[in-house]
Amino acid sequence: MPYDPADFPPATSRAAIANAMTGPACFTAALNLQEWIRDLLQAGFTPGERLVHAPAHDQRAFEVIDLAGLLTVRAEYGSHWPTRTMLSPTRDESWWASCPGLIPTGAILAAAGRLEPTGPDAGALLEAAGWTATTNIAGEITAWSGPDASRAAARVSEGPDHGWLIYRNDLPRAPVLSAALTTPPGVIAALALAR
């Protein structure tokens, strides 16, 4: 689908969003999605040429790729569930981060610059930013809390729900971002610090 840089979001996206998200409860969500798409395109992300995974029935998807071509950002929207967003590497699927809502564009931009799988672990990066860590007795869950306790991240290393959870303590209705344990440490830290 062609995109005119002067048209944010593209008219074709506005039409697709409007057709899939109808009703008074969806108006704000559709507007937020349009602004989210506009912000990513203005930040230099480009629309993906093809969707790697087709969206679920009655859902639509919009994908963009960062300037370096390394990070894919996807939003799924429609009638079945609220908008959800996902981050993953463009060239393989070794990790992912997902949120039942829109991952803030500032967090996506921060994560895009931190895709290296090596370096300090996410916990060390959070602690360097002033976050404090606590570990449960069994050692399977480690949680970090921001200096003002408004944000938190937890690493669950065992069990069926293993992975990362990043959430806001000050906004109880804010969606929780989840990520694979294989997600690069810099991405986890960027998402936690910028969320």
* Number of Cβ within a 10 Å radius of residue 182: 12
Distance separating alpha carbons of residues 192 and 177, to the nearest angstrom? 9
Kindly write down the DSSP assignment for every residue of 4-46, as one continuous string.
-TTSSS-HHHHHHHHHHS-SHHHHHHHHHHHHHHHHHHHTT-E
pLDDT of residue 190: 95
Closest CA to 113 of 153, 66, 75: 66
pTM, two decimals, is 0.82
**Cα 174 from Cα 181, distance rounded (Å):** 22
With left for phi above 0 and alpha for psi between -120 and 50, is residue 91 left, alpha or beta? Answer: alpha
* Domain-wise residue ranges, the chain: 1-98, 114-195
| pLDDT tens-place values along the chain, 195 residues long | 444 444 445 555 666 666 666 554 566 777 788 888 889 999 999 987 666 666 766 778 888 999 899 999 998 887 656 688 999 998 887 899 999 889 999 999 999 989 988 889 999 999 999 999 998 877 788 999 999 999 999 999 887 778 999 999 888 788 899 999 999 999 999 999 987
Answer whether the bond into residue 9 is a cis peptide, omega within 30°: yes
Q: What is the pLDDT of residues 139-185, one digit of tens each?
A: 788 999 999 999 999 999 887 778 999 999 888 788 899 999 999 99
